[in-house]
Homo-oligomer: A and B are copies of this chain.
């Protein structure tokens, strides 16, 4: 909601996937077109259906992307960590792509308008190719989720979800890998297509078995191998 007490440097944009491999001159050009904002926790970055179509990236903090239907049912499309892109899908599809983006922490966020971005892509095709790589990775993930939802029971889906989050943004802690997002049971459920109740039950079991620790919406996986085993299902329980 406020504008930036944050000084952008060339390094900030150079670190983003979208601008990988660009000459310094191009980066400076990018910098000029960059809008930067600092947002508090629990802010909307953009809303379903506001005309606000820009490509975003996160320099600091985390964001939750979600969609919800009129029936109230909601899914989480993705959690965004620092240095990731988001909100760009609407650019490349008909602008009917709808999603909400909400900050989970304090956030430093940069963005570019559609014309500026197209302009950059035209003059530096590498930007477009980079974008293809990003989008390609996302589509791959979406496809994995589709397969999971189609074929796997709840506990395996939850396991996969935790592993993905850990891989995406996990941090080594003394006792395992910590997922740095503030995660509610409902978030996890909305990611992997189940209810907060089922998630709670599953996590309680795993916590009792010492596979993970859950505290203050912070999840730490203490026995990665166990979770992986469940995800990959060597899982015919040993009765």
Contact = CB atoms under 8 A, between A and B. Distances in A.
Interface of A: 67, 69, 71, 73, 75, 77, 89, 91-94, 97, 118, 121-123, 125-126, 128-129, 131-133, 135-140, 142-143, 145-147, 149-151, 190, 193, 233
B149 A193 contact: yes
Which of A71, A91, A123, A135 has most chain B Cβ within 10 Å? Answer: A135
Contacts of A131: 128, 132
A71 B153 CA distance: 13
A93 B136 contact: yes
Contact of A135 (B92, B150, B193): B92
Contacts of A71: 151, 233
A75 B143 CA distance: 10
Majority SS of interface residues in chain A?
helix
30 contacts: A67-B147, A69-B147, A71-B233, A73-B151, A75-B146, A75-B147, A75-B150, A89-B136, A92-B133, A92-B136, A93-B136, A93-B140, A97-B140, A121-B128, A121-B129, A122-B125, A122-B129, A123-B125, A125-B128, A128-B129, A132-B135, A142-B142, A142-B143, A142-B146, A145-B146, A149-B149, A149-B150, A149-B193, A150-B193, A151-B193
A5 to B, nearest CB: 34
Identical subunits present: 2
Contact of A149 (B118, B125, B146, B233): B146
B147 A146 contact: no
Which of A118, A145, A150, A193 has most chain B Cβ within 10 Å? Answer: A150
A75 B193 contact: no
Contacts of A128: 121, 125, 128-129, 131-132
Which of A71, A91, A122, A139 has most chain B Cβ within 10 Å? Answer: A139
